[in-house]
Chains A and B, each alone.
Chain A
Amino acid sequence: DIQMTQSPSTLSASVGDSVTITCRASQIINSWLAWYQQKPGKAPKLLIHKASSLQSGVPSRFSGSGSGTEFTLTISSLQPDDFATYYCQQYISYPLTFGGGSKVEI
């Protein structure tokens, strides 16, 4: 299985900050990486696929980068609605695997 490791696990930030979350894969996954946002009591929501492609309807303050084994999710100018937990997921091979999550809190 491909292990996905996210850091940090928790991040404290303020409205207006720019934040970056890192996701590392245990094997090369090219750009086959997605990012999701999950709020308490809600299902995950797709933000980015293919490492850097913004899903339709997702604000442009979200961006993704990376390839191979190291990836980042950046939220520029954090908004109150962005306080949530973020997960990465590889989809180059089965079993599909997720990172452990990164909680962005105030």
Chain B
Amino acid sequence: QLQLQESGPGLVKPSETPSLTCTVFGGSISSTTYLWGWIRQPPGEGLEWIGSIYYSGSTNYNPSLQSRVTISVDTSKNQFSLRLSSVTAADTAIYYCARSMLTANYMDVWGKGTTVTVSS
């Protein structure tokens, strides 16, 4: 059964560029069927899609974050990663990674999430 596990720095300072990683267990990130994405949820708020990547490295980003976001994939480690530059308190959130179908972009498998808190 496919499982996703996020890892991240937890607490970061404003203006830093944290990196988060999602490790895929029980399946291959190199599948031609799926996309791999990041979604975040600020405390007490709703869900915001950040972006997605295909195993080849092709990406799609939310225009609201595009200037600060980089999503990359490492097929040798079965991982994909998120870098978010110049963070502020507004980036404090739970960050989830998820799998979606290449042909139908709903998220059928989610990680448990990792909290990123931006504070000096």
The residues of A with any CB-CB pair to B shorter than 8 Å are 1, 32, 34, 36, 42-46, 49-50, 55, 87, 89, 91, 94-101
- List 19 interface pairs A-B (beta carbons < 8 Å), by A numbering: A1-B63, A34-B106, A36-B107, A42-B112, A46-B108, A49-B106, A49-B108, A89-B107, A91-B100, A91-B105, A95-B60, A95-B61, A95-B62, A96-B52, A96-B105, A97-B49, A98-B47, A98-B49, A101-B46
Apart from A34-B106, A36-B107, A89-B47, 12 more pairs, CB < 8 Å: A42-B112, A43-B110, A44-B107, A46-B107, A49-B108, A87-B47, A89-B106, A89-B107, A95-B63, A96-B49, A96-B105, A101-B46
Least CB separation from A96: chain B residue? B49
A36 to B61, CA, bound (A): 21
A95 in contact with B47 (CB, 8 Å): no
A45 in contact with B110 (CB, 8 Å): yes
A91 in contact with B46 (CB, 8 Å): no
Least CB separation from A6: chain B residue? B46
Distance (Å) between the CB of B8 and the closest chain A CB? 15
By a CB distance below 8 angstroms, the chain A residues around B106 are 34, 46, 49, 89, 91
Distance (Å) between the CB of A100 and the closest chain B CB? 5
